[in-house]
Structure 1
Amino acid sequence: MKSFFSILLMFICIGFCNAQTDTIKASKQIKEAPDDLKQLIKEITEEKAQKVSRDADLEIDGLIFDETKTKSGREFYDLFYRDWEAPSNAKNYSIFVAEKPYRLSTTQIQVSINETLVFQSFLQPRGDIVETLAQEAVARTQVYLQNYEAILKQLEGDDRAGSGIF
Structure 2
Amino acid sequence: MKKFLYSLSLCTLFVFLSVQVCGQEDKKVNAKIESSTLENQIRLKAVVANNTTVYKELNYLLVSIKKGSGGNLSNNQQSGKFSINPGEVKTLSEISVNLEKKDALKAFLYVRDEETRTLIAKDSLELNHDLFTKKAAKTEEDAVFELKGLTIDETKTKVGKDFYDLFYLQYSQLPDKSNAAVTISEMPLRGTSGQISIQIEDKVVYSFMTNPGEDYLKEQLAASLRYIKEFNARKNLIKNEFIY
TM tier, smaller: 0.5 to 0.7
Match of 2:180 in 1: 93
Note if contact 1:86-1:142 (Cα within 8 Å) is conserved in structure 2: no
Note if contact 1:62-1:93 (Cα within 8 Å) is conserved in structure 2: yes
* 1:1-166 superposed matches below 5 A: 52=75, 57-59=142-144, 60-84=147-171, 85-86=173-174, 88=176, 92-152=179-239
Q: Render the CA deviation track for 1:86-115: whole Å, top value 9, x for unaligned.
A: 453x55311000000013221100001010
Note if contact 1:106-1:125 (Cα within 8 Å) is conserved in structure 2: no
Moved over 6 A (4+): none
Q: Distance in 1 between matches of 2:221 and 2:212?
A: 13
Match of 1:45 in 2: none
Residue 143 of structure 2 aligns with an amino acid whose one-letter code is: L
Post-superposition offset of 1:121: 0.8
Q: Distance in 2 between matches of 1:92 and 1:104?
A: 36
Q: Distance in 2 between matches of 1:147 and 1:91?
A: 12
Percent identity over paired residues: 27
Let me know the Cα RMSD of the aligned residues: 3.0
Match of 2:84 in 1: none
Which protein has the bigger helix share? 1
Residue 181 of structure 2 aligns with an amino acid whose one-letter code is: S
Q: Distance in 1 between matches of 2:178 and 2:215?
A: 32
Give ranges in structure 1 of 5+ residues lacking alignment.
1-48, 157-166
The TM-score, its normalising length taken from structure 1, stands at: 0.53
Q: How many residues align?
A: 106
Q: Distance in 1 between matches of 2:218 and 2:174?
A: 19
The TM-score, its normalising length taken from structure 2, stands at: 0.38
* SS of residue paired to 2:183: strand
Q: Distance in 2 between matches of 1:80 and 1:113?
A: 14
Post-superposition offset of 1:134: 1.5
Give ranges in structure 2 of 5+ residues lacking alignment.
1-71, 79-138
Note if contact 1:97-1:109 (Cα within 8 Å) is conserved in structure 2: yes
Q: Distance in 1 between matches of 2:181 and 2:235?
A: 13
**For the structure 1 residues 82 and 105, does the alpha-carbon distance in structure 2 shift closer, same or farther, using more than 3 Å as the test?**
same
Post-superposition offset of 1:65: 0.3
